[in-house]
Amino acid sequence: MTEKLKIPIEQLILTDSCKTELHPTLANEFIKWFSPMNGLKFTKWIEQLTKPILTINQNIVVYQSIDVSKIPDNIVYIITSSLHQTLRTYIIGRAQNMKNRLSTYNKSIEHEVVYYVCCHTVQITKIVESTVLILLEKYREVVNRDRFILPENQSLNLFTNVLDKAVGIFQPLFEVEP
C-alpha cells in the first residue's frame, strides 16, 4: 500500500492521545473501495479538510479555522481574527470549554481557532499554557497580554511547534498500552 500511494508507512495512521487519524489519501482510497457511489463526495470533502494553509499575498499565511464544536475540553489554543491575522498577531491561551472561551473574545471582533493541543486535565492545561507563554515571551506584543507577533520570515509553525513540545511532555501519561 505504501508503495502504491508513495506515503511512508509511519504517516498512514497517526495516533495521539486525543485521536487517531488516517492519512487523507489512505482515507480516500478506503472510502472508494468501501462505497464507490460515495467516493466522489468523500474526495471533495477530504480536499476541503486537507487545506489547512492558504497563502494570501506572499507574506501572510492563513490557517483555516477549526470548527469549535469539535474541539475537546482542556486545551491550549491559538486564535486570531482577520484584522490580527494581517498584523501577524495571535492570541495564545487555555480553555476548559472553547466555545464559552471564544464568546468572550467575539464581543468586539470575530476570532477563530487556528490551532490547539489537547491537555486532558485542567492541571496539565495550566502547566502547558504557562510553559508556552514563557517560551514565546520574546514574541509577546505587550506585557501582561497573551498576544504574540509572528516574525515576518516565520510560519505559524514557530508557535504550533512550541505547543506540541510542551504538551508532548505529558503524552506518556495518556498512552494506552496494547
- Interval 108-150: pLDDT, tens: 788 888 999 989 899 999 999 999 999 999 999 888 788 999 9
Residues 77 and 145 in one domain: yes
Residues 45 and 61 in one domain: no
Residue 124 in any domain: the answer is yes
- Residue range(s) defining the domain that contains residue 144: 54-173
The pLDDT value recorded for residue 133 is 95
Residues 59 and 10 in one domain: no
Q: Average pLDDT, whole number, for the chain?
A: 77
Last residue of a domain, one of 50, 69, 88: 50
| Domain total in the chain | 2
Residues 76 and 11 in one domain: no
Residue 88 in any domain: the answer is yes
The pLDDT value recorded for residue 108 is 72
C-alpha cell recorded at residue 25? 489519501
Place of cell 508557535: 159
Residue 60 and residue 19: Cα distance in Å, rounded?
30
- Long-range contacts of range 127-133, CB-CB < 8 Å, 24 or more positions apart? 127/170, 128/76, 128/94, 128/163, 128/166, 128/167, 128/170, 129/76, 129/92, 129/93, 129/94, 131/166, 132/76, 132/92, 132/162, 132/163, 132/166, 133/92
Say which range, 63-67, 85-89, 172-176, has the weakest mean pLDDT. Answer: 63-67
Residue 156 has pLDDT above 80, yes or no: yes
Residues 61 and 40 in one domain: no
Residue 10 in any domain: the answer is yes
Residue 55 has pLDDT above 50, yes or no: no
Residues 96 and 59 in one domain: yes
Residues 70 and 90 in one domain: yes
Residue 68 and residue 71: Cα distance in Å, rounded?
5
- Interval 18-45: pLDDT, tens: 666 666 666 666 776 777 666 666 666 6
Q: What global pTM score does this model have?
A: 0.63
Residue 178 in any domain: the answer is no
In percent, how much of the chain has pLDDT > 70? Answer: 64
Residue 101 has pLDDT above 60, yes or no: yes
Residues 95 and 143 in one domain: yes
Residues 95 and 166 in one domain: yes
Residues 77 and 148 in one domain: yes
Residues 41 and 72 in one domain: no
**Residue 56 — pLDDT band, cuts 50, 70, 90?**
very low
Residues 9 and 85 in one domain: no
